Amino acid sequence: AQSVTQLGSHVSVSEGALVLLRCNYSSSVPPYLFWYVQYPNQGLQLLLKYTTGATLVKGINGFEAEFKKSETSFHLTKPSAHMSDAAEYFCAVSGNYGGSQGNLIFGKGTKLSVKP
């Protein structure tokens, strides 16, 4: 069965500092991997995704993530944090729930705080 672990439920950085949000996954088949962002009381917005091909994936708002198969990781980074990056971030892996394609398995989320 597929699973996702996000290390750290809360991460705090200073404005301008590097953002690193960690995601490790478990999957018995080649995974599709996703990062979503959620602002308070809103739905989830796709930041970036990995399906096949290039392992370094660039997304919106300056975020990027690297798929490392040997480490089963898909960590999210941004070189310089902005106040507007404060939100909750979810990592997700493709799942085959009940034998059906199409489902995503989500991590529990990491709340990012950005200090001025």
Partner 1 sequence: DGGITQSPKYLFRKEGQNVTLSCEQNLNHDAMYWYRQDPGQGLRLIYYSQIVNDFQKGDIAEGYSVSREKKESFPLTVTSAQKNPTAFYLCASSISPSTYEQYFGPGTRLTVT
The residue written with tokens 């809360």 in the block is 10
Site for partner 1 in 51-110 (CB under 8 A): 51, 90, 94, 97-98, 100-104, 106-109
In the complex, what is the shortest distance from the CB of residue 32 to partner 1, in angstroms, rounded to a whole number?
A: 5
Q: What is the CA radius of gyration of the chain?
A: 14
Nearer to partner 1, 26 or 45 (CB): 45
* Nearest-angstrom CA–CA distance, 92 and 103: 10
* By the rule CB under 8 A, 34 interacts with partner 1: yes
Binding segment (CB under 8 A) for partner 1, from list 20-28, 39-47, 60-68, 73-81: 39-47
Nearer to partner 1, 19 or 90 (CB): 90
In the complex, what is the shortest distance from the CB of residue 22 to partner 1, in angstroms, rounded to a whole number?
A: 15
Q: 109: which 2 tokens?
A: 């989320």
- DSSP code per residue over 60-116: GGG-EEEEETTTTEEEEEESS--GGG-EEEEEEEEE-GGG-S-EEEE---EEEEEE-
In the complex, the residues that contact partner 1 under the rule CB under 8 A are: 9, 32, 34, 36, 41-46, 49, 51, 90, 94, 97-98, 100-104, 106-109
